[in-house]
Chain A
Amino acid sequence: MLLNSRIIYCWIVCMFMVKTTFTQIDTGFIRHLSENQLKNEHWTYLNEVKIRQDSLEYFKAKFHLQYENDSLFLHSFDKSFDLFYKDTSALYLACLHFLKTNSKDREKWFGRILDDMTVNQYELHPIVHMYYYSLHPVDVDISQIPEQLQKDMNSYKKADKKKPILASTLSAIIPGLGELYIGNKKVFGTRLIALGLMAFQTVESLLTLGFKHPLTIIDGGFFSAFYVTNIVGVYYDTKAKKTETKNQFLINASNYFSAVYQYQLY
């Protein structure tokens, strides 16, 4: 009986010793794998190392951040947010990455960050501020934005103020005027000339050939179709311009802060 208990004791000690040899993660080695972009080795190492689940997910989140797998990054981040918040460098690198990611993941990420920072009363980092400004461009005091980004912010503010319905109404009054209202001067010129020419050729055929002549019907049909397209098109152009200027502002902000802060992932 005594012998048996000794055996069990030794076996447990042995197991413990072997187990402890797997509880260390070599951050230097991970940095090496990351710098050399050895994706497969990096992933294999993370799958074989035996550490606490949240630590493992923290390293996996950084892995997915490096290789830009947004959904897996968010999944791992959810399981390791305590550790991730302590690593400000990785946190702000993730912010920089999501600033220029034009997808729902951007809203998901910054929504989470803004909520957590507000709850914990953390001071918002300038990078997070940029996203916040992009949500409420009208309230932004332009002097709070770095000089290099002020031009983009002004363009976005300007585009954000434009109303699609007003643009469509203007285009209905004078074809292309809605485009001029949203700042597309060249499109205004071409639309006005094209629709003007169409209108004149319709009038020309109407006066010389009569209302029921096929050419008048074709001319009139084309003019009507282009006139309606011009009204509907400018409605969507206004919305697209808003999104485009917003994305441009965020991409430039990401590039600007990447150059200013030069955060390292490891």
Chain B
Amino acid sequence: MRRIIFLLYISINCINFVNGQNDVESRLMLLEKEYFISENDTVRNQILVSKIEFLLIDNVVSPRVLEEVKRVEYDFLEEKQQRDFLWNAALISYLNKDTYYALYFLDRYEEECNDVSTEKELLKLLIYVSYDTSKAQQIIDTISKIDKDLNCLNCLNYIQNVESKHQKFAEIISYIIPGSGMLLQGDLLKGSTTLALNTTVVLIIRWMFLQHQYLNMISWGTNLIQKFYLGNIRLTQRMIENKNNRIRKKAADSCQANLENILKQYPLEFKKML
């Protein structure tokens, strides 16, 4: 009889092991099933928090986690858990570039707890920098008073507003002398080619006028002016934009290094919710 019981026990365990829900997806699915079965809101929200925690442990911060975050009714969580959830939710939203949700969760977090830490201000700054630069500047001024090293974060605001020199002048002058805007931006080849092409067009039109080729003058003039003169304006604008992007990228690279150093000092970490 003992042998029978022993064998039964072994075989049940073997089957359970074979059908065991060991991998991450299976566990998440089982948690979802518990959520589905449960009728208690507190339990249901605890399960959702468990799912989020589980994904975060597995280093998943994809939109999938954000979707889980949006399902949580945080009023059903305990006070401390609610605070930790709101912090994580703001951080997850920020990492998923969902500024509005990040601001919403951070606002709720600030309402729920009186957190005056630099980490919180840093997260707030990172969220605001792509949304409201004047607010971001206020935050930089505030945190710079706490730690002077944080002053280097001014570069975050700088990269949002940086523009190439004389860009307005280059745009206006390209209307008057085609190609000069590009020359001013430093592109000699494109600038001189555009200038030469437009001069040629003017000369051709003049020649046609002198030869009494009026229809040809209208037809070729309309087409070529549209192609080369208006094209020169569009190209100058695109060139200015590309140059601005290059300057911003260069500034962003050096700013990234500053930010990484700051984040080593004040790491933005997920909080344990369970």
Interface positions of A (Cβ within 8 A of B): 3, 6-7, 10-11, 14-15, 18, 22, 26, 28-29, 32-33, 36-38, 40-41, 44-45, 48, 197-198, 200-201, 204-205, 208-209, 215, 219
Q: Check B7–A10 contact: CB distance below 8 A.
A: yes
Instruction: Please give the distance in Å from B194's CB to the nearest CB on chain A.
Output: 22
Q: Is the CB–CB distance between A197 and B15 below 8 Å?
A: no
Most interface-central of A15, A36, A38 (chain B CB within 10 A): A38
Cβ-defined partner of A36 (8 Å) among B4, B19, B71: B71
The total number of A-B Cβ pairs within 8 Å is 74
B149 → chain A closest CB, angstroms = 42
A204 and B33 contact, Cβ closer than 8 Å, known pairs A7-B4, A15-B11, A36-B71? no
Q: Is the CB of B36 within 8 A of A7?
A: no
A11 pairs with B15, CB closer than 8 A: no
Is residue B142 within 8 Å, beta carbon to beta carbon, of the partner chain? no
Is B26's beta carbon under 8 Å from chain A? yes
Of all chain A residues, the one with the shortest Cβ separation from B16 is A18
**B122-137: which residues lie under 8 A (CB-CB) from chain A?**
none
| Chain A min CB distance to B71 (Å) | 7
Among the listed A22, A41, A219, which residue makes an inter-chain contact with B25, where contact means beta carbons less than 8 Å apart? A41
Asked if B113 CB lies within 8 Å of chain A CBs, one says no
Query: A201–B216 contact, CB under 8 A?
Result: yes
Q: A48-B21, A197-B219 are in contact. Are A7 and B32 (CB under 8 A)?
A: no
CB neighbours (8 Å) of B28 from chain A are: 40-41, 44
Do B29 and A48 touch across chains, with their CB atoms under 8 A apart?
yes
Known: A37-B67, A45-B33, A201-B220. 15 other contacts (CB 8 A): A10-B7, A14-B11, A14-B12, A15-B11, A18-B12, A28-B36, A33-B32, A41-B25, A41-B28, A41-B29, A197-B218, A198-B219, A201-B213, A208-B213, A219-B216
Give every chain B residue within 8 A of A200 (Cβ-Cβ). Answer: 215
Contact with A along B200-241 (1 / 0, CB 8 A): 000000001001111110111000000000000000000000
Chain A: minimal CB distance from B12 (Å)? 6
Query: How far in angstroms is the closest Cβ of chain B from A263?
Result: 23
- What string of 1s and 0s marks CB contacts (under 8 Å) between B112-153 and chain A? 000000000000000000000000000000000000000000
Q: How far is the CB of B61 from chain A (nearest CB, A)?
A: 15
Specify the chain A residue showing the minimal Cβ separation from B207.
A215
CB distance from A118 to the nearest CB of B (A): 41
Check A45–B11 contact: CB distance below 8 A: no
In this assembly, does B263 line the interface, its C-beta being within 8 Å of a C-beta of chain A?
no
User: What is the CB-to-nearest-CB distance from A92 to chain B, in angstroms, rounded to a whole number?
Assistant: 27
B188 within 8 A of A: no
- CB-CB under 8 A from A197, the residues of chain B are 215, 218-219
Contacts of B218 in A (CB 8 A): 197
Most buried by A among B11, B15, B29, B71: B29
Residue positions of B touching A, CB distance < 8 A: 3-4, 7-8, 11-12, 15-16, 19, 21, 25-26, 28-29, 32-33, 36, 64, 67, 71, 208, 211-216, 218-220
- In this complex, the member of B21, B71, B219 whose beta carbon has the largest number of chain A beta carbons within 10 angstroms is B219
Chain B contacts for A198, CB-based, 8 A: 219
What are 15 A-B pairs at a CB distance below 8 A?
A: A7-B4, A10-B4, A15-B15, A18-B19, A26-B33, A33-B32, A36-B71, A37-B67, A40-B25, A44-B25, A44-B28, A44-B29, A201-B215, A208-B211, A208-B212
Contacts of B214 in A (CB 8 A): 204
Question: Given A6-B4, A7-B4, A205-B213, do A44 and B26 touch, yes or no (CB 8 Å)?
Answer: yes
Minimum CB–CB distance for B256 against chain A, Å:
32
A11 touches B219 (CB 8 A): no
On whether the beta carbons of A205 and B11 are closer than 8 Å, the reply is no
Return B164 CB to nearest CB of chain A, in Å: 39
Q: Which 6 A-B pairs have the closest CB atoms?
A: A201-B215, A44-B29, A44-B25, A41-B29, A201-B216, A41-B32
Q: Which residue of A lies closest to B35 (CB)?
A: A32
Residue contact B7 to A7, C-beta cutoff 8 Å: yes
Chain A residue numbers with a CB within 8 Å of B208 are: 215
Contact indicator B216/A45 (Cβ below 8 Å): no
> Is B3's CB under 8 angstroms from A7's CB?
yes
With A and B bound together, what is the CA distance between A219 and B213 in angstroms?
12
A10→B4 CA distance, assembly (Å): 8
CA distance A32 to B38 in the complex (A): 13
- Given A29-B33, A38-B32, A44-B25: A10 in contact with B213 (beta carbons within 8 A): no
